[in-house]
Amino acid sequence: MRLTILCLLTLLCSGLSAQDKKIHVVMFGVDGMSPDGLRHANTPNMHRMMKDGAYTLHARSVLPTSSSPNWASMISGAGPDRHGVTSNSWERNDDGIAPVAIGDEGIFPTIFSVVRHGKPDADIAVIHDWEGFARLVETTKVNYIKHEEGPYNTVTEAARYIESKKPDLLFLHLDNVDDAGHGSGHGSAKYYAAVGLADSLLGVVIEAYKKAGIYDNTIFMVSSDHGGIGFGHGGETMAEMEIPFLISGPGIKKGYEIKGPVYQYDNAATIAYIWKLPVPSAWIGRPVKSAFFGNDEEVADPMEKFTLEAPQIISDAPAGSPAGGLFIDSMPRVVIKANSEYKLFYTLDGSEPTEKSMVYMLPFTLNRTTVVKVKAFDKAGSQSPTVCGFYRVRKQSELHQMIYGYYEADDLEVLPDFRSMEPKTTGHCNEFNLDEIPNRGNNFALVLGGYIYIAKEGDYKFYTASDDGSKLYIDDHKVVNNDGSHGMIWHGGDIALVKGWHIIKVTYFNGGGGHILNVYYRGPGITKQLIPADVLYGTKQ
């Protein structure tokens, strides 16, 4: 009797497998939706999936953090180095990187061909908001593929198809969140509203599965191609790299946070795993087995510890800028938030936080320029990445502004030859900060400069993190070359400097999309930080 009860409980808890009843799968892909968006927007349907299923808000996209490489990786079970889709300009039969394996349509084999070969009678549908998605799909392997303009039309068509055809596999793509990120900035009110809209449209899809009578037999998956920073993406920051991964339905654990790593290309492998389908040997994606009943987290090494979610330094820094800010005639208040189960340690001297550093308990104020570093630890000894806040504190009377020249040109893809151009406007700025300089957003360029005071002789390293291109010069010597059209990418360069005054100049351009410029340095006794107004001058003093 006891054995019978245990067997019954196991059956009730685990749900029925794909072999026990016909399982349907829907992949709900939201272009540009970051974990930050899911955390801060009104997303009752996605949070219900997290409560009723398994999830991680720390899945990883692939580089570059652009749409085509990541959508291709999501459906192909491999990264750009294998499927060959390395940028948004990719087209079939172009002269880029050849795929390491070719399917029936001459492109890298996708989940659609895997399902077609493994389940010949399956109904497979792809309904997409972004027109460019279709070129990534083996269209002869799907029963239905349709491009619709806008999220409402896309989901309306999806609901119609769900109710009429009851597809085995539906891939649904929405583009509205990415549009909001580019138009209003990631982390803006309009961005969060767009995430909320995507969530409400997920609710429409869920309702369609209920009307079709197959909701209880459907596994729902939600993910994204990339996150974003400022007004763009394509760069190499965690804000762009991290994406959500949610899965719920029969056989999926409930309220389970996935601790192990999840990668973009694991989506396709997970779909194949649901139906126990063989996958191409060229795939590197692994199914997220820990999300399913009967599987524990996979840890490659007994000594391996998972990286904790990074704490957040709350600040009013502009989109695309690190936490902190320039505070003139005021004292900044440092506020840090993190998972309540973590213990936070911080430093104010540039050193890396350890469990012997100061413990963060309550917000505190600063009266001088300071780099705040904070790290989270849990009881098991796992730790988060270090998070930095760059607080620059100055009196108005102590500011000695640099000079800038603002230029406009069409179709910029590299830094222009400023010698042949006249600035549209000129002015003064306290730091290398785009938010201090009025600009039109696209196809503009800047020359910013003045003097930097070096208090101690030694070896220095300067960096620019920019979207698009930038260069940095010290005493007319090019130290950093970060030119070209790209997302926010870091480049650095070394130079030996003597004590005293040195000319510093930064050139920058933005062709299209997001515009970000952050300039850092480090040297003897100076931790890596944004170059503060403390050491920048328009003229020698």
CATH number for position 387: 2.60.40
Which pLDDT value is given to residue 16?
42
CA–CA dist 161, 128 (Å, integer): 13
Residue 361: burial class (beta carbons within 10 Å; 0-12, 13-18, 19+): exposed
The CA-atom distances, in angstroms, between 224 and each of 35, 71, 171, 273, 292 are 9, 8, 12, 20, 21
> In this structure, which amino acid lies at residue 473?
Y
- Structural domain includes residue 9: no
pLDDT for residue 93: 83
360 and 431: one domain? no
Cα separation of 355 and 156, whole Å?
Answer: 53
Q: Are residues 238 and 387 in the same domain?
A: no
DSSP H or E stretch at residue 491: strand 489-497
* 118 plus 150 within the same structural domain: yes
In a shared domain, residues 83 and 134: yes
Element holding 326 (H helix, E strand): strand 323-328
Q: How many CA atoms lie within 13 A of 117 on its CB side?
A: 15
Do 39 and 179 sit in the same domain of this protein? yes
pTM of the model: 0.82
Question: Is position 99 within any domain?
Answer: yes
Structure tokens belonging to residue 481: 């070359």
Summarize pLDDT for 364-413 with one digit per residue, the tens.
999 999 999 999 999 888 899 999 999 999 999 888 899 999 999 999 99
**Which segments in the chain show pLDDT lower than 50?**
1-20
Instruction: Decide if 152 is inside a domain.
Output: yes
233 plus 333 within the same structural domain = no
Q: Is residue 78 part of a domain?
A: yes
Instruction: Give the model's pLDDT for residue 453.
Output: 96
Q: What are phi and psi of 122, to 5 degrees?
A: -65, 145
Query: Residue 357 and residue 370: Cα distance in Å, rounded?
Result: 16
Q: Are residues 181 and 224 in the same domain?
A: yes
The pair of three-digit structure tokens given for residue 189, joined into one six-digit string: 């009110």
The residue among 259, 291, 323 that closes a domain is 291
Q: Is residue 303 a part of any domain in this protein?
A: no
Per-residue pLDDT at 441: 86
Looking at the structure, tell me whether residues 505 and 361 fall in a common domain.
no
Q: What's the total number of domains in the chain?
A: 3
Helices (H), 18-86: 35-40, 44-52, 67-76, 80-83
pLDDT at 296: 82
- Per the domain annotation, does 4 fall within a domain? no
Judge if 448 and 494 occupy the same domain.
yes
Domain closes at, from 396, 422, 453: 396
**Is residue 16 one of the residues assigned to a domain?**
no
Strand partners, 202: none
467 and 440 within one domain:
yes
User: Structural domain of residue 518, as residue ranges?
Assistant: 399-537
In angstroms, the Cα distances linking 363 to 158, 314, 318, 334, 357 are: 48, 10, 21, 5, 16
Same domain, 421 and 392: no
Name the E strands within 378-476. 387-394, 402-408, 425-429, 444-454, 458-467, 470-474
> Domain containing 89 — which CATH number?
3.40.720.10
Question: Do 95 and 130 belong together in one domain?
Answer: yes
- Whether 2 maps to a domain, the answer reads no
Residue 298: per-residue pLDDT: 66
Tens digit of pLDDT for each residue in 312-355? 999 888 777 899 999 999 999 999 999 888 999 999 999 999 99
Query: How much is the pLDDT for 300?
Result: 52
Q: Among the three residues 261, 291, 321, which one is the final residue of a domain in this structure? A: 291
